[in-house]
Every structure is written in C-alpha cells, then in structure tokens.
Structure 1
C-alpha cells in the first residue's frame, strides 16, 4: 500500500512529496535546478512563501523527471493571489501553456481574467509575445479574446489584434486566406502608420496569390500613396535640417514605395494590360534617391532595378516579341532566382502565340527538374502556374505528369477554380495518358472525395508552406 495523502494538493505539497520520495536536500535540488538555495528556501519554506515563477516550476519538473507542463493546473494560484492578478506571472504562464498545448489551463485562467475588462491588455501582450516568437498559430486564440471582448473597435489594441490575426491566419488554404482578408480589410486605415505600410503590403501579396487583381491594384495604390506621403515628409525635414524618424517597419522603407509600383504593374500584367503595366515599371526601376538613406536602402534599390529589367523582358515576351528571347535567356542564366518566373512568362507566351521554346526548356531542364520548392503562398501559386503552362505546352505523355502535379497542388491549396482547370485539361488529353497516369488521376480524385490530400504531398514531394 502506498502512502495515503490527504493533504490538499498544491504546488508546494507536490514538490515536497517529490523531495521526500527522492531524498533530495535543498542543496541537492539547487545543484540540479540551478536555482539559488536561498531562493529555494523562500519558495518552499518561507511563511508566506515567495511567489514561484513558471520557470521555477519547469526547473522542478526537469529535476524530478516529470514531463513538460507538470503541475501547471496548480500554478493558477500563483497568478491570482488574494484576488489580485500578477501580470509578471500570468503572461509567462499563458505563453508557456500555449507553447506546450496546455489549453485546459489557458481556458481556466482566461475565463477568470475576462471577468474584468482591465485584464484585456494582459491577453494582448500574451498574443504579441507568441506572435513575435513565431508561434502564430498559438497566438490566434489570444488575439480573438481581445477582439471578442474589447468594446471599442477604434481602440489601437483592437485594431492591431485584427491585423495580427490576419497575418497569423495565412497559410496554403486559399479560402481561409480570403476570409482573413475580408475580416481585416475594414480596419486597415485605423492602424498606426508603421503598421499600415506592412498591412497594405501583406494584403496586396495575399490578394496576388488569390488572383484578386483589382484588390491588388487598390492596395498597391494605397501603399504607394502612403509611402510617398512619408517620403515627402522626410524630404521637407531634410530641407529644414530637421531630423525625421521614419516609421518603424518590418522592411526597409524603400521596399514599400517600390512594391507599390511593382504590385500595380504585376496586377495590370495579369489582366493582360501589358502596355499599362510597362508604364508602372519606371516607378521602381531607379530608386537611387532612396538608396542614399543607408547601405540597406542601396541593396533594396538594386533589387528593384533587377526586377524592372526582368519585368520589361517579361512584358515584351507576353506581347509576342520573340526577338527578346535570346537576351531574356541570357538574363535568366545570369540571375538564377528569376528562372521560374521567367520560364513561366515564356511558356505563357508560347502557348498564347503558338511558338516553340523546346530549346529553352532543354537549356533549363535541370532547373525545371529541381523546381519543386516554395515557402510562401505567392511562390506556391507561381509554381502551380508554371507547371500548368508546362503541361499545356507539352500536352501529351510528358505533359500529363505536369497536369497531375498541378491537380495535386490545387487540392493542397484548396483552389477550386484551378482544380477545375486541371481536371478539364486532363480530360482533354485523357486519350494520351498512360495507364499508370490514369490510375494516379483516379487516386487523386478519390482522395478529394474523401478529403485526403496527403497523397499529393507524398506522390510529388511538394514542399510545405
């Protein structure tokens, strides 16, 4: 029979039990945990005891061979002592609970915190810490708590929570990405100026991946307008010898100004307005006046100069000007990072204007074979469109393999319109498919019916976003 324990469970009774069971002295416990022996004595023996940090509890768990989150359900008492909320203990506790998945503890404590509106800032700070640490999925419930309980929708904390939630919800699911845009859009102009620049850039990029070209134009125009206003303020400050502090943003300021033009041009291109798109290129081709700010500015300006060159080639090719192909090919060889977007434009034009590019495809065959990685929704979309155009160009046996790739990728992205396009293309050339390709096509369709898309990742070794 084990020892009968009738004492009410608490952090300290459980820790004392572990000390007795292992025969540890405070000196030994101090050696294992790295916690000063005097601090240990205050934590366990002083009356009243010193408040325990969540880091202390984690150290005890490690010392006693317990799993992560040991006794977390009892730590709430350290956070709400004598009816008072201890921010210094609540915030690290909730962050750790989210990191290790102790949502039972979170639900219990948050339900008590939400009894008082004064505690909303605590939940916001928890969300911000998780977001900053890259724990975006874990931050979502806390931003939602803020949004659901903050009564003033013009409150800066509420608006920033809406922005962070929009950012945290981005992934490979097109439908969810679009819903996040719709939810956040009404609040974008209420953000502080520095957040607005980043928000408009991200909104435009998400809409670009969703092929919402008019929305891309609108956000790009707003981005360019805001960036221009900030830049003009800086110029006026320089003329008056006043020090102007640019808004603190995620990227260098020149990025927002240049992207306003670049995204506008790209959206016009996707709508077939090639000549209008060309006019926008001059807006970001030479940003040397911005580059004088610092070395980072010069590096970013050089990127835009490079993109302007690439996009001029792209637009010429899309207009059917095949005379630029040799120069464009040399440019792609010299700038490997532009190969995917370059080949996409060449294939799109070849399919539209009915000219052959077999030699170019052969020249870049190794890069095409190795081209299957992406780390954001825009790159994923570009990869899909490249494979789709390649399938259209090749058409028959070799093209069918690309169609299957596209079909699987559209399922991962949950993009219904792209999925339908792929099915239509496969059925148009079904008579040229091998038996194995027909079997794989059937497996993909069965997977869709059963809502299982893992086969797509396994079959084609796609990367994940």
Structure 2
C-alpha cells in the first residue's frame, strides 16, 4: 500500500513492473530521454517534468493528475524552489482542479515574499490560455501578499481581475471598475491604453457617463502623448485608434447627457482625425473607419434634436452599412427621437423587422446587451404612445427579463414601473409573466 511520503519514483517503478515495461521501453513510449529517466528513478536527479508525468499517467492508464500530490518533491530540494517546475505544476493543478495540491504549495511559497512572482507567472500563463477562472485565485493571492502598492505585478493583477469580472452582471462589473480604477496609472503604457479602453467600455455599458468622459479623456491624451515621444509602443491597435476611440466615447457620453452641441465638436474631431506624424496603411484604415462612424453619429445627433426629415436618409445609411450592431444603435436613436417629438417611425421598424428579431444574439455582450435593453424600453414606450398597449406590455416584459438576467437594477425598477402603469390592460398571461419577477427597490 502506498504511503503518503512514498517517493514518486517508487510509484513509477511499481507501475513499470505491473505492466512489464523495461526502463528503455517506458522511455521510448513516453518520449523521455532514457538517461534522464534512469537518473530520476535512481534518485540521482529530479528530472521528471509535469508534462512527462502526465504522459506516464496516460501510459499506465491512470487519470490526469496522477501522483500530483507527490510531484512537489520534484520542485523542492533542500528548501530550494525550482521555478521552472513549479510554474507548470501550478498551472496543471489549476487546469485539473487539484486544489488539494495548490493550497499546500502556495502556503510554502509564501514563506518567502519573493516567491509571489512564481504565483503571478502561473496566473499569467493561465490567463493567456483563457483559463480565466483558474487564474483568478492566483491573482488574488498576489494582491493579498504584495506589500508594495506601486508594484507593476500588483497593478497587472488588479487589471486581470477587472477583465475576468466583466460580464453581463452590471453590479459585479461596477464593483470591478471601482476596485481597479486606483491602479490604472501604475501599469506599463501599452497596458494603460488597453485598460483605459476597457474601463471606458465598462462604464459605457453601465451608463456612468461622467466616468466614461474621464477615462475617454485619459485615453485620448495618453495615446497622443505616446505618439509625441517618438518611441515605439507595443499596442494591439495603431495609436491613432486609441486617440479616435477616446474622442468617440467622449462624444457619446455628452450625447447621452443631451449636450448635443458639445458632442458634435468631438464627432467632427474624430470624423476627420489629424495626427502629428505620417500614417502607415494601418493608421489610414483606422482614420477611414472613424470617418464612417463620424458620419453615422452626426446623423444620430440630427435625429436626436428632432430633425424628422432626415429619418429616411438615416435609415438608408444604416441599411447600407448592413451591420446589425449599428442598426440596433440607430433604431434606439430613432425611437428615442420619435418618443420625444411625437412622430411615427412604423415604416422604419417594419423595414428592419428581421434585424430586430436577431437582437437577442447580443445578450452575451457587455455593451450590445445594454443597447438591447434600451431598444426594448424605448420601443415599449413607442408602442404605448401609439395605442398598441398589448405590444407595449410585451416589449416591457422583454426588457424586464433582460434587466433581471443582467442584474440591471435601475432598468429593472424602471420596467416594473412602466408595466404597473398599464397593468390594468394586461392579459392574464402577461400578468402571470410579470408576477414571476421579484419586487426590487432602487
């Protein structure tokens, strides 16, 4: 019977005997150097990697994670830690859910604060391979154990947790923004660009317009400052993209606050972007894209200020783009204006009826799911104002369902109040659907 402290090599040797394998056969079948395997089994060296242990487990018909509880001895020698063994070991333990192995290892590592970097490296490997939930625990350990508040490792860990937290739960998203915000300027510059963009997007989806303006301003200023340094900066997109998207989000935030004239100034700026240095092909493509967005958003501002005469031209433009997300944004604008100024847009809604049926495909996207809620809410009001009470109630229930699933408390309460306003006209089925949802307060 195997003892708790029985060496790893004894277990491997037992399996070799059980299966009738010679050392050379195992080495060949497992793709391990025979000399290294011999030294490891004889206790001369700790030379088995976690990957090789996985191959041996498969060879001997064992489940993934076989002997992981003993492998820690391969990583430690007289209190010296093997970084090149520990990192892949922690990664594999996380991937396989071997938390019984992770806890003791981390506990030993934290006897020396310098070992936090090993935990961080394991978290980064998991994050880069999109094992986000597995990485989350390691990043939290780094945060808890890092004493230097200006550590880049600490800032990156906060940023990663912010990204991992992003989803369709509005309350969780907002908590993540608050937690990460103080660390955003402690990141390296290329991380700062991405972080500011993600903070802007998160606040946009949460309709936190003052925060959108703040982060969008920082994004535009940082990208321009980096351009003026003349130093090459690693970034996913050309620097002009971050400059332009900062201006774009600033204009949208001003639009949402109904500061239409101020919003137009920013739209004109990103619709014809100017840059301090000559642009390559990538930069030119970004400029062209912002020109398209600028044209669309100038239409938006005209519609929002009550220009009914431009509605059909705007609808033609949306149709020409043939992008479902732009049609969604455009219809929100058209409905909002129709509700504010009292004109009919039935023909526009009919024109895009097939697109409207596809809006549910956005419900797993942070920003587009927010737009879907707003579309349903404005469409419900539109139906009520045109005397189509049953359709208005159906749209309200649809909006209520979305708000409930996304933990959008303010939207949920607003939809509840709207349904109550017309509840006397609701069918038994509509009332039954409404009563499924719990009462909430703002």
Q: Shorter-chain TM-score: which interval?
A: over 0.9
Distance across 1 between alignment mates of 2:21 and 2:427: 71
Q: Is 1:190 paired with 2:186?
A: yes
SS at match of 2:436: helix
CA distance 1:15–1:402, shift in 2 (3 Å):
farther
Q: Could you say which residue in structure 2 is the equivalent of 1:426?
A: 419
SS at match of 1:373: helix
Q: Is 1:43 paired with 2:32?
A: no
Residue pairs, 1:127-142, within 5 angstroms: 127-142=123-138
SS at match of 2:181: helix
Distance across 2 between alignment mates of 1:422 and 1:41: 71
Q: Could you say which residue in structure 2 is the equivalent of 1:359?
A: 347
Distance across 2 between alignment mates of 1:216 and 1:427: 32
Q: Is 1:272 paired with 2:265?
A: no
Q: Could you say which residue in structure 1 is the equivalent of 2:93?
A: 97
Q: Is 1:217 paired with 2:206?
A: no
Q: Could you say which residue in structure 1 is the equivalent of 2:121?
A: 125
Q: Which runs of 5+ in 2 are unaligned?
A: none
SS at match of 2:373: helix
SS at match of 1:201: helix
**Deviation (angstroms), 1:63:** 1.5
Q: Is 1:369 paired with 2:357?
A: yes
Q: Could you say which residue in structure 2 is the equivalent of 1:334?
A: 320
Q: Is 1:165 paired with 2:165?
A: no
Give the aligned CA root-mean-square deviation in angstroms.
Answer: 2.1
8 Å contact kept, 2:396–2:419 = yes
**Deviation (angstroms), 1:122:** 1.1
**Deviation (angstroms), 1:53:** 0.7
Q: Could you say which residue in structure 2 is the equivalent of 1:181?
A: 177
8 Å contact kept, 2:87–2:121 = yes
1:300-353 CA-partner distances (Å, limit 9, x unpaired): 222211110111111111111111111111111111221111111111111121
**Deviation (angstroms), 1:6:** 6.3
1:164-202 CA-partner distances (Å, limit 9, x unpaired): 222222222211211111112122222222222222111
Q: Could you say which residue in structure 2 is the equivalent of 1:296?
A: 282
Q: Could you say which residue in structure 2 is the equivalent of 1:11?
A: 8
Q: Could you say which residue in structure 2 is the equivalent of 1:258?
A: 244
**Deviation (angstroms), 1:225:** 1.5
Distance across 1 between alignment mates of 2:43 and 2:2: 22
1:380-430 CA-partner distances (Å, limit 9, x unpaired): 111111121122222322232222222121112111111101111112222
**1:311 pairs with one of 278, 292, 297:** 297
CA distance 1:5–1:308, shift in 2 (3 Å):
closer
CA distance 1:50–1:427, shift in 2 (3 Å):
same
Q: Could you say which residue in structure 2 is the equivalent of 1:437?
A: 430
Q: Is 1:65 paired with 2:51?
A: no
1:235-284 CA-partner distances (Å, limit 9, x unpaired): xxxxxxxxx31x21233212210011101001001111111111110121
8 Å contact kept, 1:291–1:298 = no
Deviates more, 1:356-365 or 1:299-308: 299-308
8 Å contact kept, 2:46–2:74 = no
SS at match of 1:361: helix
8 Å contact kept, 1:387–1:402 = yes
Q: Could you say which residue in structure 2 is the equivalent of 1:237?
A: none
Q: Is 1:409 paired with 2:402?
A: yes
Q: Is 1:82 paired with 2:78?
A: yes
**Deviation (angstroms), 1:67:** 2.0
Deviates more, 1:379-388 or 1:11-20: 11-20
Distance across 2 between alignment mates of 1:230 and 1:387: 41
**2:146 pairs with one of 146, 150, 155:** 150
Distance across 2 between alignment mates of 1:433 and 1:213: 35
8 Å contact kept, 1:264–1:277 = yes
Q: Is 1:344 paired with 2:302?
A: no
Given the two structures, how large is their TM-score scaled by the length of structure 2? 0.92
8 Å contact kept, 2:5–2:70 = no
Q: Could you say which residue in structure 2 is the equivalent of 1:283?
A: 269
SS at match of 1:35: coil
**1:112 pairs with one of 108, 112, 116:** 108
8 Å contact kept, 1:291–1:301 = no
8 Å contact kept, 1:292–1:298 = no
Deviates more, 1:7-16 or 1:83-92: 7-16
CA distance 1:133–1:172, shift in 2 (3 Å):
same
SS at match of 1:75: helix
1:136-191 CA-partner distances (Å, limit 9, x unpaired): 22222222222211111112222222222222222222112111111121222222
